[in-house]
Amino acid sequence: TYYVSERDQRFRYPSVIQNFIKTWAELTFNWDSKLPGTNETDSGIKVNSKRVPTSTYFASLLMEPEFGKASLDKIAELVPSTVFSGQVRSTIIISFLSEPREIRPGEWEVDMIATRLIVDRSLGKDERIPFNRTFRIKAVEIQTSPLGDQASAFEQKVYEIRSAGLEINKITEFNPQ
């Protein structure tokens, strides 16, 4: 049974907002030498003189456009080139996601406590980096591809990841005070 009710166009269920943040974090920080969900080698996307994994590029599309572009530059600095050869792998372990706090209609904050785990297979060591952040998210228009099933795989992926109708417009250090 489905329950249908009329809602403001900026309304988003808390679980949708939390899943959106979780998706962004996983796309941004889960790195290996394969394209997600395939056995194909990921050569990455060039960002200035560096590269980021393809999934990280897609994660930047979940952000306000200029913020996403600027974030790619910063994230590219964190990605070792050995990710693309499979020597280094990375994942994010999310320990806590807060309930969204509505700042104003159509805008929320969510706190995340997580750890980035980076494993260097050739050295047999790992590094654990705390990643505790507060995200500011806003509702945006939910768009669908004008080409539908006829769209390229790239275009379909872009519209798929933006289907929550949300956009990150600010990320700050999490302060529990």
Q: What is the pLDDT of residue 46?
A: 95
User: Which residue type is seen at 169?
Assistant: N
Q: Decide if 60 contacts 24 (C-beta within 8 A).
A: no
Question: What Cα–Cα distance (Å) separates residue 142 from each residue in 54, 122, 166?
Answer: 23, 44, 8
Backbone torsion region of residue 119, taken as left when φ is above 0, otherwise alpha when ψ lies between -120 and 50, otherwise beta: beta
Residue 147 has pLDDT above 70, yes or no: yes
Residue 4 has pLDDT above 60, yes or no: no
What is the CB neighbour count within 10 angstroms for residue 45? Answer: 17
Q: What's this model's pTM, rounded to 2 decimal places?
A: 0.89
Place of tokens 């929550």: 164
Residue 7 has pLDDT above 70, yes or no: no
Residue 163 has pLDDT above 90, yes or no: no
Question: What is d(CA 30, CA 22) in angstroms, rounded to the nearest whole number?
Answer: 11
Q: What is the pLDDT of residue 176?
A: 82
Q: What is the pLDDT of residue 2?
A: 55
Q: What is the pLDDT of residue 132?
A: 98
Topology at the third CATH level for domain 14-173:
Nuclear Transport Factor 2; Chain: A, (3.10.450)
Instruction: Kindly report, residue by residue over 24-44, the tens digit of the pLDDT.
Output: 999 999 998 988 778 899 999
Residue 82 per-residue DSSP state = G
Q: Which of 28-42, 95-109, 110-124, 139-153 has the lowest mean pLDDT?
A: 139-153
Question: What is d(CA 129, CA 173) in angstroms, rounded to the nearest whole number?
Answer: 13
Task: Say which residue, 39 or 144, is predicted with more confidence.
Answer: 39
pLDDT band, very low/low/confident/very high, at 146 (cuts 50, 70, 90): confident
